[in-house]
């Protein structure tokens, strides 16, 4: 505490009072100060924020207490101060306090070497250790947040109060197939299916009215895949008082999950239909046995010239057609009676296609790629014939006017399980039969129903053709794939286990 000024005269008293006030202000200041010579030695020790004894510290260099990693920065700042008289230079570095702890200081220096009243470099010190710790904690928190966001499979997004994107969204390109710059400034609603936007707007409006959080399912457009993908969208309004400042939320892609659920439902439906078809076919077959037997007996007893013979022949023919239908139903259910033998797939397909000439429309040309080295398979010849006929005729009818149906066999190997219409096919050696047409193709809604019994894109009552084909493939432990798109034709590929 400085002594009270002594009264020796008006001018001296005024000077002492001024000095007293100055010292009191310095002592009450939160900052420290000192006057240094050009080499950084302390000429006039002022108040220190680090707690050093001013008298003992006088004449020492401040570089002695500066952290080694920061000494170069401190020397460079001193050189800048010396080169620029009257300029104010600011630098931050770590200095050691009397207890040996490193503390961050913000130092402001000014060159007053030419001032006769000072003749030194005046520096002010401010302890910013707490601020640095806060900044470091904030940076670490942001880094953890950034790492968490990058690790998430969901898209984490932020937008302005009106929904416009203003900063890059992690994983945006993975979710939409387009660069972030293409979406910058647009509203997040613009990327969703038009039919889903009303519900999203309604949820958004509810959040504006005070709902803390909302979540909806919606379809997000993927530019590269050229299709909408099912997503779960959630958002939270960040508020300043009652006013929404910004929005934060996530978009989780559940498209693969939705597709898997649809496949499971479809498989369960087909299995139920298969059980129903198999049961009906067995019961109906028992009835047909009696009808066909009775019709055969009638034909043996009725003379050729009898008017009743035509009726008996009609009964026999109708019963025979009905028996073929029951065989298709049993094939669809996978419960048909198979006579399995080793067959040359290429030779069998060539023989079957040669017999189908009259069934193919005149404008359709068949192209066969049936190499002799195609592996043999174990299959029922009759069921294989029905399968090939169903696939080739279906392909030919899909071609409007003139076109091509290509039939190809080949050897194939699966190294990993492969998901198909019939389910997952295990790894192994296979022989494949592919039937491709350049017809009208199918959209997604049609292709998901093409194997349903009695479903058709033509006229009604087309029967069990493709549904039976699916059952035949399953009955042989194989797999069936379908590749199709509107105006791009269709390819049915059957995988048979190699014999």
pLDDT in tens, 287-320: 777 888 888 888 888 888 888 888 888 888 777 7
Residue burial 237-269, b: 16+ Cβ < 10 Å; e: rest: beeeeeebebbebbbbbebeeeeeeeeeeeeee
Fold match between domain 31-133 and domain 340-497: no
Model confidence at 413: pLDDT above 70: yes
Q: In which band, very low, low, confident or very high, does the pLDDT at 331 lie, cut at 50, 70 and 90?
A: low
Model confidence at 495: pLDDT above 90: yes
Contact assessment for residue 87 and residue 93, using Cβ atoms and an 8 Å cutoff: no
Task: Quote the pLDDT of residue 313.
Answer: 82
The full set of domain ranges for the chain reads: 31-133, 152-253, 258-333, 340-497
Domain 152-253 class in CATH: alpha beta
pLDDT tens readout for residues 76-109: 888 888 888 878 888 888 888 888 889 888 888 8
**Which range has the worst mean pLDDT, 6-15, 102-111, 257-266, 467-476?**
6-15
- Rounded mean pLDDT, 367-392: 88
Task: Quote the pLDDT of residue 441.
Answer: 85
Q: Dmax over Cα atoms in the chain, in whole Å?
A: 162
CATH number for region 340-497: 3.30.565.10
Q: Could you give the percent of the chain with pLDDT greater than 70?
A: 77
Task: Quote the pLDDT of residue 493.
Answer: 93
Alpha carbon distance, N-terminus to C-terminus of the chain: 105
Contact assessment for residue 466 and residue 390, using Cβ atoms and an 8 Å cutoff: yes
Task: Quote the pLDDT of residue 461.
Answer: 40
In this prediction the pTM is 0.46
> CA-based angle 468:472:473, to the nearest 5?
120
Model confidence at 185: pLDDT above 80: no
Question: Is residue 1 helix, strand or coil?
Answer: coil
What angle do the packed helices 465-475 and 381-397 form, to 10 degrees?
140
How far apart (Å, rounded) are the C-alpha atoms in residues 431 and 349? 12
Task: Quote the pLDDT of residue 1.
Answer: 42
Model confidence at 5: pLDDT above 60: no
CATH for the 258-333 domain, from 1.10.10.10, 1.10.40.30, 3.40.50.670, 1.10.287.130: 1.10.287.130
Q: Of 397, 403, 404, 401, whose CA–CA distance to 459 is shortest?
A: 397
Q: In which band, very low, low, confident or very high, does the pLDDT at 407 lie, cut at 50, 70 and 90?
A: very high
How much is the mean pLDDT over the chain? 78
- Rounded mean pLDDT, 114-131: 84
Task: Quote the pLDDT of residue 317.
Answer: 79
Domain 31-133 class in CATH: alpha beta
């Amino acid at each position: 505490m400085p002594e009270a000024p002594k009264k020796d005269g008006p001018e001296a008293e005024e000077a002492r009072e001024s000095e007293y006030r100055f010292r009191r202000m310095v002592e009450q200041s939160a900052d420290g100060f000192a006057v240094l010579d050009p080499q950084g030695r302390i000429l006039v020790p002022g108040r220190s924020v680090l707690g050093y004894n001013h008298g003992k510290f006088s004449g020492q260099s401040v570089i002695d207490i500066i952290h080694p990693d920061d000494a170069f920065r401190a020397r460079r700042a001193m050189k800048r101060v010396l080169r620029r008289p009257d300029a104010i230079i600011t630098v931050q570095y770590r200095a050691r306090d009397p207890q040996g702890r490193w503390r961050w200081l913000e130092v402001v220096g000014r060159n007053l070497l030419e001032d006769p009243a000072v003749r030194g470099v005046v520096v002010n010190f401010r302890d910013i250790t707490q601020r640095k710790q806060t900044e470091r904690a904030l940076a670490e928190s942001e880094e953890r947040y950034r790492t968490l966001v990058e690790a998430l499979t969901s898209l984490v997004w932020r937008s302005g109060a009106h929904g416009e994107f203003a900063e890059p969204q992690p994983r945006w390109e993975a979710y939409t197939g387009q660069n972030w710059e293409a979406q910058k400034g647009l509203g997040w609603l613009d990327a969703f299916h038009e039919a889903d936007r009303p519900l999203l707007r309604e949820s958004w409006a509810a959040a504006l009215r005070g709902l803390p959080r909302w979540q909806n399912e919606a379809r997000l457009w993927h530019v590269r895949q050229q299709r909408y993908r099912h997503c779960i969208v959630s958002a939270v309004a960040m508020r300043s008082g009652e006013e929404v400042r910004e929005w934060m939320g996530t978009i989780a892609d559940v498209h693969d999950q939705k597709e898997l659920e649809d496949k499971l439902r479809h498989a369960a439906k087909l299995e139920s239909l298969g059980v129903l078809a198999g049961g009906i076919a067995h019961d109906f077959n028992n009835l047909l046995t009696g009808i066909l037997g009775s019709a055969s007996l009638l034909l043996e007893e009725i003379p050729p010239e009898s008017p009743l013979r035509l009726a008996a022949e009609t009964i026999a023919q109708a019963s025979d057609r009905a028996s073929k239908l029951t065989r298709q139903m049993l094939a669809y259910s996978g419960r048909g009676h198979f006579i399995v033998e080793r067959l040359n797939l290429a030779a069998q397909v060539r023989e079957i296609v040669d017999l189908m000439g009259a069934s193919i429309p005149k404008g359709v040309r068949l192209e066969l790629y049936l190499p002799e080295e195609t592996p043999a398979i174990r299959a029922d010849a009759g069921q294989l014939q029905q399968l090939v006929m169903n696939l080739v005729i279906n392909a030919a009818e899909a071609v409007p006017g003139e076109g091509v149906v290509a039939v190809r066999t080949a050897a194939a190997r699966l190294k990993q399980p492969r998901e198909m219409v019939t389910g997952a096919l295990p790894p192994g050696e296979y022989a494949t039969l592919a039937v491709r047409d350049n017809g009208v193709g199918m959209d997604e809604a049609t292709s998901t129903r093409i194997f349903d019994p009695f479903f058709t894109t033509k006229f009604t009552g087309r029967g069990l053709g493709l549904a039976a084909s699916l059952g035949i493939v399953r009955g042989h432990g194989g797999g069936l794939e379908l590749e199709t798109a509107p105006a791009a034709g269709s390819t049915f590929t059957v995988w048979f286990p190699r014999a």
